[in-house]
């Protein structure tokens, strides 16, 4: 049985790519649930990752733990930002391709 959940996606976000296709910044995966590092940052296992950032100049979502990790960490942990950015790239499979098995119906897009 498939689970039906509603996630709010920015109307200007690109459509989710097919499984294995290059990431286009649609944000669907991180809006649905955080990666292992996002669980620590967001302090939750379900729902949108709090480190997910909308980049309006490019109309895409970006992982804040990759682009600005210190901004999502308490001051005493800023020293770990470079290491955590590398972990984030690994956990979100940066450069590997879309690995979100979430289906977004065309009717869900508000274009």
**Could you report the per-residue pLDDT of 13-48, keeping only the tens digit for each?**
999 999 999 999 999 999 999 988 899 888 999 899
Give the C-alpha separation, 13 to 83, whole Å.
Answer: 29
Give the C-alpha separation, 86 to 88, whole Å.
Answer: 5
Task: Name the nearest CA neighbour of 32 among 23, 41, 45, 13.
Answer: 45
108: pLDDT strictly greater than 70 = no
- Give 41-71 pLDDT, tens digit per residue: 889 998 999 999 999 999 999 999 999 999 9
With H, G, I as helix, E, B as strand and everything else as coil, classify residue 64. Answer: helix
Alpha-carbon torsion (22, 28, 29, 31), positive or negative: positive
């Amino acid at each position: 049985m498939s689970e039906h959940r509603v996630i709010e996606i920015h109307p200007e976000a690109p459509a989710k790519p097919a499984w294995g296709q290059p990431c286009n910044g649609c944000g669907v995966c991180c809006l649905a649930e955080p990666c292992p590092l996002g669980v620590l940052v967001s302090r939750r296992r379900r729902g949108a990752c709090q480190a997910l950032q909308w980049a309006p100049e490019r109309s895409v979502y970006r992982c804040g733990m990759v682009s600005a990790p210190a901004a999502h960490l308490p001051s005493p942990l800023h020293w770990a930002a470079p290491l955590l950015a590398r972990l984030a790239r690994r956990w979100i499979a940066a450069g590997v391709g879309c690995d979100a098995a979430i289906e977004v119906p065309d009717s869900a897009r508000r274009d």
